[in-house]
């Protein structure tokens, strides 16, 4: 069985390479014909995932119709900003597995957007999964969530689980689409905050505090959106927060560190989802009278309204309270 992967950045490339390591086939769609040509020639994605070989079982194309032909569902591995455009070009009968850890332009979940656009079979894939490690075949676990609610299809999750489960990737299913999807979205913002602490050299205690209080904030937001209570403590929540906030691979953590050091937040053209997410979530919290102080602090820093030091002072100066 060949897996259709739409998006040839780090994540799409890693999944195709991982499947190839285990003798499984895939077709990888790159939006830019020049990138598709380079991947076919070099068998390595030097811009987005250097050092990972793409086995011959990976087919590459920049033709979307050719990529999806004969496939019942596809993994969508482009950044969240590219999801609306990609969805609009896909047949509504295709099952779509959303892998981006970001929000739609209006702040909605990407799965809500997909359902609104007429897709009846929607799932999300999320977990502590750095492309740099998955692509090399290092062991990892992830979650695919789908549900019968809102017209989506629970069976899609099981198909994805069967297709992606290999000796190096353990895939769990979940019926909590909201919780799994939002865990990956929120953890990027908290990882950015952890990076600010790294860049300011504030120490391990501060980092532990931001991760722990950040997890609480994640749980608060997930609950407000109807997620199940335990999901934030699973792979897509706590698991991904741990993997990201302490990682040398994380672009979100590294962006926070760079900002605190007065450097450019950009990561060589690679997507840093937390920057846009922080603004969207902070605006939501303000509009709904919700308390998301770490999200707000990160949003203000990335918008240039606060210095990193001001964000620390704001968080430390909050009113005394019970844990």
Ligand X SMILES: O=P(O)(O)OC[C@H](O)CO
Q: Which CB, 115 or 252, lies closer to ligand X? A: 252
Task: Report the nearest approach of ligand X to the CB of residue 44 (Å).
Answer: 19
- 187 among known catalytic residues: yes
Q: Which CB, 90 or 245, lies closer to ligand X? A: 245
Nearest to 48 by CA among 131, 140, 142, 133: 131
Q: State yes or no: residue 182 binds ligand NAD (CB under 6 A).
A: no
Q: Which CB, 99 or 280, lies closer to ligand NAD? A: 99
Q: State yes or no: residue 86 binds ligand NAD (CB under 6 A).
A: yes
48, interface contact from ligand NAD, ligand X, none, CB < 5-8 Å by kind: ligand NAD
Q: State yes or no: residue 227 binds ligand NAD (CB under 6 A).
A: no
Residue ranges of E strands in the chain: 2-6, 25-29, 44-45, 49-53, 58-61, 73-76, 95-98, 122-126, 140-145, 169-174
Q: State yes or no: residue 43 binds ligand NAD (CB under 6 A).
A: no
Task: Report the nearest approach of ligand X to the CB of residue 14 (Å).
Answer: 10
Contact between 30 and 6 (Cβ < 8 Å) = no
Task: Report the nearest approach of ligand NAD to the CB of residue 273 (Å).
Answer: 4
Task: Report the nearest approach of ligand X to the CB of residue 51 (Å).
Answer: 15
Q: What are the residues whose beta carbons fall under 8 Å from the beta carbon of 285, sequence distance 6 or more?
A: 221, 291, 292, 295, 296
Task: Report the nearest approach of ligand X to the CB of residue 87 (Å).
Answer: 21
100, interface contact from ligand X, ligand NAD, none, CB < 5-8 Å by kind: ligand NAD
Q: State yes or no: residue 11 binds ligand NAD (CB under 6 A).
A: yes
The rounded distance, in Å, linking the Cα atoms of 241 and 185 is 10
Report residue 280 CA to chain centroid gap.
15
191, interface contact from ligand NAD, ligand X, none, CB < 5-8 Å by kind: ligand X
Task: Report the nearest approach of ligand NAD to the CB of residue 76 (Å).
Answer: 9
Binding stretches for ligand X (CB under 6 A): 101, 128-130, 188, 191, 240, 243-244, 249-252
Q: Which CB, 88 or 319, lies closer to ligand NAD? A: 88
The rounded distance, in Å, linking the Cα atoms of 16 and 30 is 12
Contact between 212 and 265 (Cβ < 8 Å) = no
Using CB under 6 A as the binding rule, the residues of this chain from 232 to 291 that contact ligand NAD are: 270-271, 273
Q: In terms of DSSP bridges, do strands 140-145 and 122-126 run parallel, antiparallel, or are they unpaired?
A: antiparallel
135, interface contact from ligand X, ligand NAD, none, CB < 5-8 Å by kind: none
Burial pattern 234-272, b for ≥16 Cβ within 10 A else e, equals: bbbbbbbbbbbbebeebbbbbbbbbbbeeeebeeeebbb
Q: State yes or no: residue 130 binds ligand NAD (CB under 6 A).
A: yes
Contact between 80 and 11 (Cβ < 8 Å) = no
The rounded distance, in Å, linking the Cα atoms of 293 and 10 is 31
Report residue 86 CA to chain centroid gap.
16
By rule CB under 6 A, what count of residues binds ligand NAD?
A: 26
85, interface contact from ligand NAD, ligand X, none, CB < 5-8 Å by kind: ligand NAD
Q: Which CB, 34 or 322, lies closer to ligand NAD? A: 34
Instruction: Tell me how far CA of residue 27 lies from CA of 8, 64, 281, in angstroms.
Output: 10, 10, 34
Active site (catalytic) residues: 187
What residues line the site for ligand NAD (CB under 6 A)?
7-12, 31, 48, 77-82, 85-86, 99-102, 129-131, 270-271, 273
């Amino acid at each position: 069985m060949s897996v259709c992967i739409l998006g040839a950045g780090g994540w799409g490339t890693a999944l195709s390479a991982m499947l190839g390591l285990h003798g499984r086939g895939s077709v990888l769609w790159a939006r830019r014909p020049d990138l598709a040509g380079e991947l076919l020639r070099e068998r390595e994605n030097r811009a987005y995932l250097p050092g990972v070989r793409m086995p011959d079982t990976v087919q590459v194309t920049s033709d979307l119709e050719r990529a999806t032909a004969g496939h019942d569902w596809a993994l969508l591995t482009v950044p969240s900003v590219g999801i609306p455009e990609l969805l609009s070009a896909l047949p509504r009968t295709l099952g779509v597995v959303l892998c981006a850890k970001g929000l739609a332009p209006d702040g909605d979940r990407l799965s809500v957007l997909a359902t609104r656009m007429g897709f009846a079979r929607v799932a999300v894939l999320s977990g502590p999964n750095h492309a740099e490690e998955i692509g090399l075949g290092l062991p990892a676990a992830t979650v695919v969530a789908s549900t019968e609610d809102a017209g989506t299809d629970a069976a899609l999750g099981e198909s994805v689980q069967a297709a992606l489960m290999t000796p190096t990737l353990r895939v769990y299913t979940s019926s909590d689409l909201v919780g799994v999807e939002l865990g990956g979205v929120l953890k990027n913002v908290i990882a950015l905050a952890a990076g600010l602490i790294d860049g300011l050299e504030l120490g391990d205690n501060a980092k532990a505090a931001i991760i722990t209080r950040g997890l609480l904030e994640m749980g608060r937001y997930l609950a407000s959106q109807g997620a199940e209570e335990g999901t934030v403590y699973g792979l897509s929540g706590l698991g991904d927060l741990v993997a990201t906030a302490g990682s040398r691979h994380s672009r979100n953590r590294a962006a926070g560190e760079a900002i605190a050091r007065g450097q450019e937040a950009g990561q060589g053209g690679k997507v840093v989802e937390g920057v846009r997410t922080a603004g969207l979530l902070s605006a939501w919290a303000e509009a709904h009278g919700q308390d998301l102080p770490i999200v707000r602090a990160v949003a203000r820093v990335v918008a240039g309204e606060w210095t990193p030091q001001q964000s620390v002072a704001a968080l430390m100066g909050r009113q005394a309270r019970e844990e």
